[in-house]
Amino acid sequence: MSLSTAQAVASDRALASLKWAADVAHGEASLREEQREKVPAEEWQALPVGVLREELDRLLLGKRPNDGLDALLGNGFLDAWLPEVSAMVGFGDGEWRHKDVWKHTKQVVWQSVPRLNVRWGALLHDIGKMKTRSVGENGEVHFFGHSEAGAAMFKKRVAKRLGFEGELRERVHFLILQHLRASQYDGSWTDAAVRRFAREMDDGLKDLLDLSRADITTKRPEKKKRGLRQISELGKRIKDLALIDAKVAPLPKGLGTAITEAFGIPPSKRLGDLRNELEARCERGEIESQKDIEFYLAWMREHAAELGL
């Protein structure tokens, strides 16, 4: 059924205001008070989700998305379509002695790389804080479980309301749920722990590390530098370990056990030295790599005197 003339005018007005906010994010329009005319909620609701998302995505990919978000706050869009985000405004100030979540979120979005996955993750990563705030006896503010709460809010409400589907839906949910993981890294992690982290993050690792960098908004230069350094170190360790793991072993698995059985050499430094000698000869091209166990046992028998067997 077609919209009535009045509905069409209302929809056009809402769309024009949304396009203006996206233009602000791209530096193509100015954010002036006189342009912050508030559009009624019912007019916002008249916008088709597909059209709305197209402009929202464009806004988030702008070079000044923080200004675009301020425009959305001023024109009433956030109250109508993203109340989880508008609830951040002013949250955390005053007696709670915690940074303003809205200001923090805008900075994270602006600092993040302009990829849609990351920008949406940046905008929504802290929506669970409003439901999980607690204050300790010493006045310290905590948000225990806000990642899990935010991820659930996204999947149950935001994703359905704004028509998120497929890979983008899954990736944004992943980023909200896991956004604290990389910041928990320190140099004491074992290689096994780093490998496990990389395996669990899987193909979302790059987006997660990029979001984690953007999530550092402290005004203390040393703290910010330390946080960025830790994330860079984690990324480097993951790459280095991946290179090691990708390297094809020159000798077959089980060769050590076979040497023990064939030559009576128990697990020991002597056995390790023999394997190292075989690997070194493979690397120098003196022995072929990646042959079966019997090939190496036969070679060792042939060179028994040289190997001291």
Q: How far is CA 252 from CA 23, 267, 290, in A?
A: 60, 17, 6
Same domain flag for 238 and 261: no
Residues 12 and 93 grouped into a single domain: yes
| Residue 199: predicted pLDDT | 94
Mean pLDDT of the 132-150 span:
85
Looking at residue 98, its pLDDT comes to 54
Looking at the structure, tell me whether residues 227 and 125 fall in a common domain.
Answer: yes
Q: What is the mean pLDDT of residues 55-64?
A: 98
Supply the pLDDT for residue 47.
92
- Boundary-marking domain end, from 201, 226, 246: 246
Residue range 186-243, pLDDT digits in tens = 999 999 999 999 999 999 999 999 999 999 999 899 999 999 999 999 999 999 999 8
Q: For the chain, how many structural domains are there in total?
A: 2
Among 225, 246, 267, where does a domain finish?
246
Residue 188: exposure state from Cβ atoms within 10 A (0-12, 13-18, ≥19)? exposed
Confidence check: pLDDT of 163 > 50: yes
Write down the pLDDT at residue 289. 86
Taking residues 20-40, report their average pLDDT: 84
User: Does one domain contain both 125 and 259?
Assistant: no
Is the pLDDT reported for residue 3 higher than 50?
no
**For the chain, what is the mean pLDDT?**
90
The per-residue pLDDT for 43 is 93
pLDDT bucket at 33, cuts 50 / 70 / 90? low
pLDDT at 126: 95
| End residue of a domain, out of 213, 246, 279 | 246
**pLDDT category of residue 284 using cuts at 50, 70 and 90:** confident
The rounded distance, in Å, linking the Cα atoms of 61 and 130 is: 26
Give the pLDDT confidence score for residue 9 in this predicted structure: 61
64 and 25 Cβ atoms separated by less than 8 Å: yes
The pLDDT score that the predictor gives to residue 96 is 43
The span from the CA of 128 to the CA of 88, in Å, is 10
**Does residue 94 sit in the same domain as residue 235?**
yes
pLDDT digits (tens, 9 = 90+) for 234-278: 999 999 999 888 887 888 889 999 999 999 999 999 998 998 999
User: pLDDT for 69-127, tens place per residue?
Assistant: 999 999 999 999 999 999 999 886 444 445 689 999 999 999 999 999 999 999 999 99
Q: Which domain holds residue 272?
A: 255-307
Same domain, 194 and 267: no
Q: Are 176 and 146 in contact (CB under 8 A)?
A: no
Q: Which two tokens stand for residue 286?
A: 């003196």
The beta strands (E) that lie in the chain are given as 134-135, 141-142
Amino acid identity, residue 143?
Answer: F
Q: What is the CATH number of the domain that holds 215?
A: 1.10.3090
User: Which is higher by pLDDT, 289 or 189?
Assistant: 189
Output the CA angle 32-33-39, nearest 5 degrees. Answer: 110
Question: Beta strand 141-142 with 134-135: parallel, antiparallel or unpaired?
Answer: antiparallel
In a shared domain, residues 22 and 52 = yes
